[in-house]
Structure 1
């Protein structure tokens, strides 16, 4: 499912002008303030500047770095990037209800809940399989592959349809082959417990930049244009990744630039959303409930870490 035709992404930008200028003036202003939809058949059904619920997390999660949810949606799990501890959270009030030590201190960046097993990923790409977490019979298996500090893994998602985990790299894509202007997403097969050597998805900047050069009208969206400036290095740095349970689309946040991208199952970019710095000072955790509710967590950055819930609100 690797992206092979970058020009397809550029073509989708051709829909943007139609989408923007076919709406009333007030709607255009709102859309331009938040993001761009690149596919006319896609609808972004969240208001990420207006949480439906907001919870203060405890000081221990000031540097929360990953977020997952149980299959029944009754409990969430989080990690922070210093301690090898799982924090189990009540999704209805944001309270930490229990903790479980799974490994020594380290830079843990993502977490996912699959059945009775919790998976944690380290920035080096090491995966920890925590079976029966927080129980007396808890067991931990560790998996090391070719990813390392140079790749800087920051996001982990459960791809149920393909029985695999997706690992999003904040830094360079590739370990033997370099992929300039791209960020790579790798797959860990849950049946074989093997990491696929080539990225299964790319987040690619070049085609977006090309379109911006050809369509000056889009330059009204100054924040987006600046972020994809061809004179600058590609700044989009995945900090969290999750798969929408109803659509199968990939949602990827970048704390750098305060953005969220939506990709379809082939890796094609559907939507770019600009996140409010006031609401999301450092988005580092992302997951979905089975009904489509989106949860985003933010580091405290010296203050109080936050957990937000955004209800899924399909447009008529």
Structure 2
């Protein structure tokens, strides 16, 4: 009898230890330092941006947000906090995934890796007069993440699903340089080791499929959103992952875009659904 009681007690202690470890593992920080991902300021989008995807600011100025939606070859601009959008047509209908702005140029990313660039000044018009199309720079795949550095002119493209990454724990990325005439030239590649995403998040995320990326102007860290995994990944300047944060479905319906303003405030755009409108969530930076 005592032996049975001893075995039962031992089993209970082991179960408690396992549960405690599991709970401890999942109780990491819920937000990056300086932000509270549970308390956003919400900006509802106009109906035409129900499927809002990528977002960008010009030189970090948050007065005007530039956005695109998946199905239309157009760039939308609107004062943040309003629904007074301006539409500028630049291409045919297609699966456009992200937008970025640098050195007076708008760059749009199509899911197949094609890029379209035109002067930001053209957004005053209903249609762009001349668009530079760049194709064939990347292997075939599905691309959603795009970011351009205003200072260096470097442009970064991140693969969502690519053949060369299949059955690996690596996500491929590519670096381009933005020329003064809006053309884009290959300048190298990089990779992100995502093997620690599950461990750092405390949740089973599965294969990593990034949707958008941006550099935090205060820390110079990369912030990468994955809509499929409902995760925000923070990496250092050399792409080493430092932390992973879960994005709750209560706030993040379908996170597809990310941007920062000059003050380091964080913005994440979400596609809408039958019950929710497309929106941009703002998370103000507060110095720790």
CA separation of 1:243 and 1:208: change in aligned 2, threshold 3 A = closer
Question: Which residue of the partner structure matches residue 222 of structure 2?
Answer: 250
Q: Write out aligned runs for 1:53-68 (5 A).
A: 53-68=41-56
Name the structure 1 match of 2:244. 272
Structure 2 partner of 1:139: 130
* Aligned residue among 174, 186, 190 for 1:195: 186
- Offset at residue 226 of structure 1 (A): 1.8
Q: Are 1:80 and 2:69 matched, yes or no? A: yes
Q: Which runs of 5+ in 1 are unaligned?
A: 1-20, 22-27, 36-42, 213-217, 228-233
Structure number with greater CO (CA < 8 Å, separation at least 6) is 1
Query: How far apart, in 1, do the equivalents of 2:66 and 2:195 lie?
Result: 36
Q: Let me know the Cα RMSD of the aligned residues.
A: 2.7
Residue-pair matches, total: 259
User: Would you tell me which structure has more strand in proportion to its own residues?
Assistant: 2
TM-score for both structures, normalised by structure 1 = 0.74
The aligned residue for residue 304 of structure 1 is 277
**Cross-structure match for 1:32:** 28
Q: Indicate the SS of the match to 1:34.
A: coil
Measured after TM superposition, the shift of residue 250 of structure 1 is 0.6
More off after superposition, 177-186 vs 290-299: 177-186
Alpha-carbon separation, structure 2, partners of 1:206 and 1:143: 32
Q: Distance in 1 between matches of 2:187 and 2:71?
A: 27
TM-score (norm 2): 0.81
Write the mapping of 1:30-179 to structure 2, written as runs, cut at 5 A. Answer: 31-32=27-28, 34=30, 44-51=33-40, 53-71=41-59, 72-91=61-80, 93-131=81-119, 132-136=121-125, 138-147=129-138, 150-172=140-162, 174=164
1:172/1:179 contact within 8 Å kept: no
